[in-house]
Amino acid sequence: MTREQLIEDLFSLSRLLRPDRRQEMTPQQYWLLRHLRSAGPLKTGELARALGITMGTATEACQRLERAGLLTRQRQTNDERIVKIALTEEGIARIDALRQQKIDEVLQLLEVLDEQEQQELQRLVARLLATAEARGFRDERRQNIPRQTKE
């Protein structure tokens, strides 16, 4: 296998693992909901910084998700000027279902690897991610989303 083929294969795998656009949700909206699910209610600016997007982009995405019934705006009782964005019950259910769907899809892919191969793959992926982070490559969407480990 050539290095170019490996790169193309990694790109293909990355596309397969993206949130499904048939869900009427963009990858950006998916990561926004994922971040709110893990972090809880946030101000728009906090959300934009965490995701590495502009305030305008965050505001527009939140408005669309609010119209879809997945988000709500909450005024703070101690200071009504402060508005936080929070998931609705429907938003929680949708992001949890989408995440579980992705987990199930990846588990199906991993079935072709035995336990030792899965451990080796995990070691290699962890090494690549650590190298990317050390060299300044970042995925802001994932930056503040806690990793979930096997219990």
pLDDT, tens digit (0-9, with 9 covering 90-100), for 34-80: 999 999 999 999 999 999 899 999 999 999 999 999 999 988 778 77
Closest CA to 140 of 17, 49, 59: 49
102: which 2 tokens? 């992705």
CA distance 148 to 129: 16
CA distance 19 to 123: 24
Do 61 and 29 contact (CB within 8 A), yes or no?
A: yes
pLDDT band at 16 (very low <50, low <70, confident <90, very high): confident
Q: In sequence order, which ranges of the chain are alpha helices (DSSP H)?
A: 3-17, 27-39, 44-51, 55-67, 89-110, 115-134, 140-143
Closest CA to 69 of 96, 87, 82: 87
CA distance 126 to 132: 10
Closest CA to 66 of 83, 79, 78: 83
Q: Which pLDDT does position 151 carry in this prediction? A: 37
Domains of the chain: 3-143 (1.10.10.10)
15 pLDDT higher than 90: no
Q: Which pLDDT does position 150 carry in this prediction? A: 43
Q: Which pLDDT does position 22 carry in this prediction? A: 59
Q: Report strand pairing: 79-87 vs 71-76.
A: antiparallel
